[in-house]
Structure 1
Amino acid sequence: MNRNLIPEIDVDLLEELDARLVPVQAGDELLLARAKATIMRTIAQDRAPLYRTVRASDREGWQKVCPGLERKVLWDSQGARSVMLRVAPGTTVPAHVHGMDEECVVLQGTIRIGELELHAGDYHVGRRGTSHELAATDTGAVVYLRGAMDEV
């Protein structure tokens, strides 16, 4: 285990918390169950993996968003989501306003956002509060996006 990931323990804080502990009385089963559930959730979060790998060969996890558009969630974190989009030839995505910065990398194909044409390897960012024009593709595309959870 990498000890750099383990925070130093504040002994004074532990002693202060210990002094404030109050024993649970008989009959407080609901309170005890809630406390246990909170502790177990915290333990589960602490055991969350430090790395995640998604392989291009993974066939699972794709969700149909609308005709011609599929999404695979790669990561959710702190109000942002990373996704991969598969866009079929001839598909259009309506204009929208960004709730936060949205990053886009075209991995395959070509996509147009208004008059802007993006090809494989191109990067584009839509800043928070800006609106994107209609996006479309004639060739189909695979796109990586990172932005607000409710938008991607």
Structure 2
Amino acid sequence: MKKFIILISILTISAFQSCKKEDSPGDNYDFSNSIAPYVTIEALEDIEVAAGDVVDVTLQMRTSLQQSVTATYKVTGIINTPSATVVFPAEETEASASLTIPVNAAVGSTAVFTLVSAKTADGKSLTIGQNANSAQQTFTIEVVQ
């Protein structure tokens, strides 16, 4: 008799639980991707270099994509590159750009690196910066020696 009462209790609890499926814990997880993919400069701190140095700039994406992404940047000042690109291969979250400081650069001269835009291989524009503030995606390179 005790086994029969336990069996009836288990069946009753199961029946009531299954009636409220929309309220059931575990069925309402949100796996949607609510933050759009974005591209940033890994380190935004200003840097000091010597004339003739090579500066490697690492760009990062929030998430890897199944297609390549082309990021466009510009450099103004002692290095004048109005438009250059770096390509993130498919499934990669980092890409690098190399800048060579001119050997004859004067002490105190600067160059400003700015991330301008990013597009996927199929033409979709990506957000620049984590907070969609592209004005913050810049840093200065200063020649100190």
Same fold (TM over 0.5): no
Scaled by the length of structure 2, the TM-score of the pair is 0.31
Scaled by the length of structure 1, the TM-score of the pair is 0.30
